[in-house]
């Protein structure tokens, strides 16, 4: 029979809590995307992207009814849907931070106050990159790259930000709580 040290039990319980929490996250995210009206956030993000791009000299038109941006060259349009808002990334990061045991709530809230705006800005940058990608590689290649960045690139960014949060904020609390 394998003997588990206190550290191993602590880590195993943390993993179980995170797993259960992430299952809950999937259900909550689906509920939010389907049942919560995010058009205000979609519109704010689409208009922010439009304003920044037109300030940079990109010929674009904003359609507030469809929450979309149409580009003249190359000719295509981008509709900002609920998942384009970064809501899944923001929730995922918040769940990871909130589910870690041994970290005080003040430390968790400080980390969220620092990193959630960073994730939001990174998402805006992701949306800003759509037009240059289409100009350089073509519209279809742009959508492929956009999908890959959203699907895998944002996960890597979130894991890196989580590691930074852990090392900068949480590690001291966890070590202190394990020593009790």
Q: What is the DSSP letter of 36?
A: S
* pLDDT score at 7: 73
Pinpoint the alpha helices (H) of 36-104: 39-55, 87-99
Tens-place pLDDT, residues 79-120: 999 988 999 999 999 999 998 888 889 999 999 999 999 999
pTM of the model: 0.84
Q: How far apart (Å, rounded) are the C-alpha atoms in residues 168 and 45?
A: 29
Residue 72 is assigned to a structural domain of this protein? no
On whether residue 63 sits in a domain, the answer given is no
Determine, yes or no, domain membership for 65. Answer: no
* Residue 172 included in any domain: yes
Q: How many CB atoms lie within 10 A of CB 86?
A: 23
Tell whether 70 is covered by a domain.
no
pLDDT at 107: 93
Share of the chain above pLDDT 90, in %: 50
What mean pLDDT is predicted for residues 10-28?
87
What is the model's pLDDT at position 5?
74
The H or E element spanning position 33 is helix 6-35
The residue range of the domain holding 170 is 6-36+83-178
Residue 71 falls in which region: left (phi positive, over 0), alpha (psi -120 to 50) or beta? beta
């Amino acid at each position: 029979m394998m003997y588990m040290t206190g550290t191993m039990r602590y880590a195993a319980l943390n993993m179980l809590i995170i797993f259960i929490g992430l299952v809950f996250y999937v259900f909550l995210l689906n509920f939010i995307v389907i049942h919560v009206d995010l058009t205000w956030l979609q519109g704010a993000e689409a208009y922010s992207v439009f304003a920044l791009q037109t300030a940079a000299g990109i010929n674009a038109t904003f359609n507030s009814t469809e929450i979309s941006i149409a580009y003249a060259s190359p000719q295509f349009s981008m509709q900002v849907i609920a998942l384009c808002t970064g809501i899944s990334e923001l929730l995922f990061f918040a769940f990871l931070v909130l589910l870690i045991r041994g970290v005080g709530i003040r430390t968790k809230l400080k980390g969220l106050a620092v990193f959630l705006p960073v994730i939001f800005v990174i998402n805006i940058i992701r949306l800003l990159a759509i037009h240059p990608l289409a100009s350089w590689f073509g519209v279809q290649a742009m959508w492929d790259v956009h999908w890959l960045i959203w699907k895998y690139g944002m996960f890597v960014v979130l894991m890196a930000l989580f590691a930074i949060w852990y090392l900068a904020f949480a590690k001291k609390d966890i070590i202190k709580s394990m020593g009790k």
